[in-house]
Structure 1
Amino acid sequence: MNIFRLAGDMSHLLSILVLLLKIRATKSCRGISLKTQELYALVFVCRYLDLFYSFISVYNSVMKVTFLATAFSIIRYMRYDKVVKQTYDKEQDTFRYAFLIAPCLLLALVMNHKFTVTEVLWTFSIYLEAVAILPQLVLMQRTQNIDNLTANYVALLGAYRGLYILNWIFRYFHERHYRQWIVWISGVVQTGLYLDFFYYYYLAWKSNKRLQLPA
């Protein structure tokens, strides 16, 4: 494992911890998209099926279990906690799952490395992760209710993807047979979705003001 992969994993993990901190400390999920959280849970379930039949390393297994557990913990808070669920912006978080899930599933059936159930589901998870942040970005644009913890959560998610791109570049030049076109293209698309957010995030940080996205 190289430093970019490790930093990317830690950024991803930290983003989830920041989100859990926001929910537990403030007893609020205002500004957080449940749609995005459920899409990420679906991504993890489809991607980490190999936990049942393949062992890579203790680190790999622990990270997968952690991402699964935290994803469903966030959903549980937002759906079932009596206090937290009252703060959910349900009327604004209306992005339709089908507009993301259906095209990603269709693309996974057509473009994959091998046409098997596990490989198609893994590929589907790659495509879906690339666009899973869209409901969150749309919600922030609609409500303009972007506190520092929510902004930092999204920023850390974006940093995770950017660091993974550096990881792929590093591996391309240091591993002779490393070619992952599906992963690479999906990762670039995902990173592109964050560019507008990072522009306004930087402006807010520079001026020491609260983040606001254009409606």
Structure 2
Amino acid sequence: MSVTFKCRGKSTFKGISGKSQVLFGLVFTTRYLDLFTSFISVYNTVMKVVFLVLAYATVYLIYLRFRSSYDSESDSFRVEFLLVPVAGLSFLENYAFSPLEILWTFSIYLESVAILPQLFMITKTGEAESITTHYLFFLGLYRALYLANWVWRYHTEGFFDQIAVVSGVVQTIFYCDFFYLYFTKVLRGSGKMTLPMPV
């Protein structure tokens, strides 16, 4: 069986997983609770607020403003299969057993798997808009650049965050097939991507 990604020019939310967007909103919410407890810098505060606002604005657009173009039937991934194990793991593996630290750890673990509903939806429908493939590529690239940042920080500062690094590697692995097909199909202008899937 194979999945074909068709790159078309229609402006729609079809092909975008609302469930993945909700999970990303939850990621940023649980990660940035320190907005209420500590101040690092104006830049840090503004960026956290921007991430939160954009995450929930996207959820609003998908589920309310443009709900007629949202394919809820295909966005059927069972997110509880992600939330329950991630919540359990955040209690078992963290740096300090405190509410903020557990929620921060939860956000790191959840971010590593939050893209799965989106990848599942594309696999189920067999196609994605051109803008969706570009969106997924840059979302994956954003995470891959985190890995480069961690390597740089380790060599320059001796800093190593095992939880964040392992989770980042896991998330990047989920994107590997997509990256390969994006470079070999979409960027070469074939207009479609074929992802081999097991029967």
Deviation at 1:179, TM superposition (A): 2.2
Check if 1:190 corresponds to 2:174. Answer: no
Partner SS, residue 207 of structure 1: coil
1:75 aligns with 2:59: yes
Q: What TM-score comes out, normalization by structure 2 length?
A: 0.90
* 1:163 is aligned to 2:149: no
Distance in 2, matches of 1:201 and 1:137, equals: 13
* TM-score, length basis structure 1: 0.83
Which digits, 9 at most, give the CA deviation of each residue in 1:52-97, with x for residues without a partner?
Answer: 111112221111111100111111111111xx21111111110011
* Aligned 8 A contact 1:147 1:210 in 2: no
Question: Letter of the aligned partner of 2:56 in structure 1?
Answer: F
**1:123-144 deviation line (CA, Å, top 9, x unaligned):** 0000000000001011111112
Correspondent of 1:173 among 151, 155, 175: 155
Q: Measure, in 2, the Cα distance between the counterparts of 1:76 and 1:32.
A: 13
Cα distance in structure 2, aligned partners of 1:136 and 1:208? 23
Which residue does the alignment assign to 1:204?
185
Does the CA contact (< 8 Å) of 1:32 and 1:136 recur in 2? yes
Runs of 4+ in 1 over 3 A off after TM superposition: none
Q: Quick one: percent identity of the two aligned structures?
A: 47
Instruction: For 1:1-215, list aligned pairs within 5 A.
Output: 28-81=12-65, 84-176=66-158, 178-212=159-193, 213-214=195-196
User: Quick check: 2:19–2:75 contact (8 Å CA) kept in 1?
Assistant: yes
Aligned-pair RMSD on alpha carbons? 1.5
Q: Could you say which structure has the greater relative contact order, defined with CA pairs below 8 angstroms and 6 or more residues apart?
A: 2
Paired residues of 1:43 and 1:125 also in contact (CA < 8 A): yes
**Separation in 2 of the partners of 1:63 and 1:32?**
24
Give the whole-Å Cα distance in 2 for the aligned partners of 1:206 and 1:72. 30
Q: Deviations over 1:12-47 (max 9, x none)?
A: xxxxxxxxxxxxxx6621000001000000000000
Higher percent of residues as strand:
2
Match of residue 12 from structure 1: none
- What secondary structure sits across from 1:195 in the alignment? helix
